């Protein structure tokens, strides 16, 4: 049978696999500045980063400070012997309806053949609230260091274009300007894009172009520590996030997109500075980009477009296990049949059909209990405490509590079903379930078939060893142990992967991957307890341990000075109203309730500037009467598909930001700013467009002409929002007590003026 010496051996396998998986989620050691010049050194890149961003201030595209950063990037390139070019223009990305000035910095290392080019790129602009050292300064510094290394390198076959794009944060505007207007773009056949959605963690490869089989193989071979999982790519496709690579991918260019995503509480925050950046993430970024650049530099880029995608997952950050999707179904079928045959041969004597009856009940019991346990724990671990929606500063107590809950469920299942379900029945049903899962994944989402393929392949491998051991009465012991190791690998890999997209308030989702390891561990455990009397005492102890875990977790801070809550003080007024509001804004999570209460911020219904309202803690203050936008309706002419209505916008001097929101019933199809196509609602994008919105960041001085193509001819009310400096006199009384664990994120402090305005009906000539 399946007699293990002791179930402790399963825990030992778990611990070993866990350690290996944690390597996938950690970063390489940063190399010091004395490292040889042919390897990337995070220390050298960090020195560049600190020279680029010493002031720790936001530098939004178009702002005066961003041109300072631009000049520093240019100086670095010149010092390495390049003659960088600046692609400068006012540009709009019609996919997002956003416009800003862009200053893309372009440097080229000519290739020996030079027919095609590899684009190595990162954006140098920051968001509104922070200096953007991780997003995307680390990538900029890494590419500057690589450009310096590459300058001394003999030429590759292909050209290498280093692009430091501008205005990514405002809607990939620089990347779009490069793709639409730069003559070099036509030669680009492969893109390496570096990004960040946090300040630490491994630089994982999370996106490629379509037909990625060749480039995935290149990644596995040419990067020392590849971290990637095609399930992440599938998730990313369904998330609203985009990066510069979106622009190139939409144009059919192959590429690899790397980002680190831990420490997400600091993402787009005031603390995203060089001191908070994990140097290991910088090292990993550099290693990945340098490895891929050398490989793509020498590759015939005509051959990297493959007909099909690959499924892939990294094995402890050493190399990728990958397979073409076309064989995923066949592989699942062959392995599944092998596994089922091995089990059938092993149990052909002792199997009875009636043994299956209880198994059909027991397996759903186990899986449902795991999810239910996660659901119950999601209250004390994630909903009662006030937590960031994506990240816990001290997650291990919560994780341990979930593991203990899993053990409790496993023990309870054993206690309830021992004597009723035989190990053999459970084994048949469990592996049949894995087999079916593999077949379903292969047909519905083939790039994720490895979730079932890996455990089955490990089982098959173990069964070969069993065949040669021939040591009855344990015909599939090695197969079971190997299969369990494979399942534990898949379980842990995905358990930690979900950390990037959810916190403990969604523990019922977090624990789902762990169900696989529990499912295939059970036959061995059932065999072990077969002739033993189980009592409830261990279950009681496990329950107590889970409770203690919850209690300890409740006392851990949800936010710390290093992993702060996003909270910003902003002022908002609506034109024509005598009072405005000082608002505590928290766009990720919620503001500090204690701070809000003790400073008399009360929940208030506010105009959101987008023709709707929003509830935020706010205090009424006398209106500042900020200067606003003057909108004058101009000519209307019939156009294909409707009417082209012209608006003239007069902005106050040095306007940082203007946003125009149009109602759905305006039938707005397209918009132009100074004759540049700025919004095209027919373009499909990942994020659902609720209303047509036009955003102008640091728009040019002087009147702007905004043309609208609308299908409707009626009058409608639109809204304009403009941003101004937040007067210190308003905020000083609150800044003294500002909590240490609260920092501005995303937009940062500002004073905004909201102005509804009428667009008159079309008058027939
Ligand atoms: Zn970014």
Ligand 1 center to 277 CA (angstroms): 14
The strand ranges marked E within 56-181 are 85-93, 98-109, 117-123, 159-165
Ligand 1 center to 169 CA (angstroms): 6
Ligand 1 center to 583 CA (angstroms): 27
Q: In the prediction, which pLDDT does 472 show?
A: 52
Mean pLDDT calculated for residue range 208-212: 96
Confidence of residue 45 (pLDDT cuts 50, 70, 90): very high
Residue 590 has pLDDT above 90, yes or no: no
Ligand 1 center to 683 CA (angstroms): 22
Q: Which tokens sit at 383? A: 């909903």
The reply to whether 31-317 and 564-765 are identical in fold is no
Q: What is the CATH number of domain 564-765?
A: 2.60.40
What's the pLDDT tens digit per position in 417-427?
998 998 999 99
Residue 690 has pLDDT above 90, yes or no: no
State how far the Cα of 51 lies from the Cα of 146, in Å rounded to an integer.
16
What's the pLDDT tens digit per position in 664-687?
999 999 999 999 999 999 998 888
406 SS3 class: helix
Ligand 1 center to 47 CA (angstroms): 20
Q: What is the model's pTM?
A: 0.95
Q: In the prediction, which pLDDT does 7 show?
A: 80
More confident: 178 or 684: 178
Domain extents in the chain? 8-22+326-554, 31-317, 564-765
What's the pLDDT tens digit per position in 716-734?
999 999 999 999 999 999 9
What's the pLDDT tens digit per position in 384-407?
889 999 999 999 999 999 999 999
Ligand 1 center to 233 CA (angstroms): 17
Confidence of residue 470 (pLDDT cuts 50, 70, 90): low
Percent of the chain's residues with pLDDT above 70 = 98
Kind of pairing, strands 159-165 and 98-109? antiparallel
Ligand 1 center to 144 CA (angstroms): 17
State how far the Cα of 224 lies from the Cα of 219, in Å rounded to an integer.
9
Q: In the prediction, which pLDDT does 358 show?
A: 87
The DSSP 8-state label assigned to residue 274 in this structure reads G
Q: Which tokens sit at 507? A: 């523990």
Ligand 1 center to 310 CA (angstroms): 26
Ligand 1 center to 244 CA (angstroms): 8
Confidence of residue 471 (pLDDT cuts 50, 70, 90): low
Q: How many angstroms separate the Cα of 607 from the Cα of each of 604, 614, 617, 655?
A: 10, 6, 13, 21
Residue 502 has pLDDT above 90, yes or no: yes
Q: In the prediction, which pLDDT does 751 show?
A: 96
Mean of the per-residue pLDDT values of the chain = 94
The string of DSSP codes covering 522-589 is HHHHHHHHTTS---SHHHHHHHHHHHHHHHHHHHS-S--SSSPEE-EEEEEEETT-SEEEEEEE-SSS
Ligand 1 center to 124 CA (angstroms): 9
Confidence of residue 536 (pLDDT cuts 50, 70, 90): very high
CATH architecture assignment, domain 31-317: 3-Layer(aba) Sandwich (3.40)
Confidence of residue 474 (pLDDT cuts 50, 70, 90): low
303 SS3 class: helix
What's the pLDDT tens digit per position in 236-281?
999 989 999 999 999 999 999 999 999 999 999 999 999 999 999 9
Q: In the prediction, which pLDDT does 520 show?
A: 96
Confidence of residue 468 (pLDDT cuts 50, 70, 90): confident
Q: In the prediction, which pLDDT does 8 show?
A: 86
Q: In the prediction, which pLDDT does 646 show?
A: 95
């Amino acid at each position: 049978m399946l007699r293990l010496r002791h179930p402790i051996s399963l825990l030992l396998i778990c611990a070993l696999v866990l350690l290996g998986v944690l390597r996938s989620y950690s970063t390489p050691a940063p190399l010091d500045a004395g490292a040889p010049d042919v390897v990337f050194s995070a220390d050298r890149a960090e020195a560049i980063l600190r020279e680029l961003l010493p002031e720790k201030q936001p530098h939004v595209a178009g702002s005066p400070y961003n041109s300072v950063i631009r000049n520093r990037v240019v100086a670095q390139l010149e010092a390495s012997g390049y003659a960088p070019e600046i692609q400068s223009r006012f540009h709009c990305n019609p996919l997002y309806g956003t416009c800003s000035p862009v200053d893309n910095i372009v440097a080229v290392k000519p290739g020996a053949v030079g027919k095609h080019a590899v684009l190595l790129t990162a954006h140098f602009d920051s968001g509104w609230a922070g200096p953007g050292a991780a997003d995307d300064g680390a990538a900029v510094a890494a590419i500057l260091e690589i450009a310096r290394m590459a300058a001394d390198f003999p030429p590759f076959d292909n050209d290498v274009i280093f692009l430091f794009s501008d205005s990514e944060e405002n809607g990939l505007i620089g990347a779009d300007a490069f793709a639409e207007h730069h003559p070099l773009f036509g030669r680009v056949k492969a893109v390496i894009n570096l990004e960040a959605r946090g300040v630490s963690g491994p630089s994982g490869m999370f996106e490629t172009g379509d037909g990625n089989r060749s480039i995935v193989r290149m990644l596995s071979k040419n990067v020392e520590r590849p971290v990637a999982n095609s399930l992440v790519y599938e998730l990313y496709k369904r998330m609203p996030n985009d990066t510069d690579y979106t622009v190139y991918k939409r144009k059919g260019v192959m590429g690899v997109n790397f980002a680190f995503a831990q420490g997400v509480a600091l993402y787009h925050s005031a603390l995203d500075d060089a001191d908070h950046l994990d140097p290991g993430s910088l090292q990993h970024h550099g290693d990945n980009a340098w490895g891929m650049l050398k490989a793509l530099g020498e590759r015939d880029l005509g051959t990297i477009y493959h007909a099909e995608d690959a499924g892939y997952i990294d094995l402890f950050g050493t190399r990728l296990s990958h397979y073409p999707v076309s064989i995923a179904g066949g592989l699942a079928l062959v392995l599944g049949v092998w596994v089922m045959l091995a089990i059938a041969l092993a149990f052909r004597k002792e199997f009875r059909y009636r043994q299956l009856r209880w198994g059909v009940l027991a397996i759903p019991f186990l899986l449902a209990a795991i999810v239910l346990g996660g659901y119950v724990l999601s209250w004390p671990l994630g909903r009662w405490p006030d937590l960031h929606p994506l990240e816990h500063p001290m997650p291990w107590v919560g994780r341990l509590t979930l593991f203990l809950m899993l053990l409790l469920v496993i023990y309870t299942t054993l206690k309830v079903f021992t004597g009723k379900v035989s190990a053999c029945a459970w084994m048949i049903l469990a592996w049949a379930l894995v087999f079916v899962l593999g077949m379903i994944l292969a047909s519905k989402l083939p790039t994720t078939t490895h979730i079932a393929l890996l455990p089955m392949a490990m089982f098959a491998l173990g069964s070969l060893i069993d065949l040669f051991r021939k040591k009855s009465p344990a015909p599939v012991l090695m197969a079971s142990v190997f299969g369990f190791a494979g399942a534990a690998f898949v379980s842990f890999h995905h358990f930690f992967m979900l950390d990037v997209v959810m916190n403990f308030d969604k523990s019922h989702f977090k624990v789902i991957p762990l169900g696989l390891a529990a499912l295939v561990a059970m036959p061995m455990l059932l065999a072990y307890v077969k002739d033993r009397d189980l009592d409830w005492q261990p279950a009681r102890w496990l329950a107590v341990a889970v409770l203690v875990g919850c209690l300890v977790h409740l006392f851990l801070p949800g936010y710390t000075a290093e992993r702060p809550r996003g909270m910003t003080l902003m002022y908002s007024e609506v034109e024509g109203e005598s009072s405005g509001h000082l608002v505590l804004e928290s766009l990720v999570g919620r503001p500090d309730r204690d701070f809000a209460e003790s400073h008399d911020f009360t929940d208030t219904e506010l105009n959101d500037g987008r023709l709707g309202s929003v509830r935020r803690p706010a205090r009424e203050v006398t209106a500042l009467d900020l200067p606003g936008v003057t909108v004058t309706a101009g000519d209307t002419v019939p156009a294909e598909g409707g009417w082209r209505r012209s608006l003239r916008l007069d902005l106050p001097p040095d306007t940082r930001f203007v946003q125009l929101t149009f109602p759905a019933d305006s039938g707005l199809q397209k918009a132009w700013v100074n004759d540049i196509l700025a919004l095209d609602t027919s373009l499909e994008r990942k994020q659902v467009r609720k209303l047509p919105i036009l955003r102008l960041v640091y728009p040019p001085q002087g009147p702007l002409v905004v043309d609208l193509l609308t299908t409707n001819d009626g009058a409608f009310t639109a809204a304009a929002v403009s941003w101004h400096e937040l007067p210190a006199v308003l905020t000083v009384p609150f800044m003294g007590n500002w909590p240490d664990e609260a920092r501005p994120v995303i937009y940062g402090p500002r004073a905004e003026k909201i102005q509804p305005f009428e667009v008159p009906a079309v008058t027939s000539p």
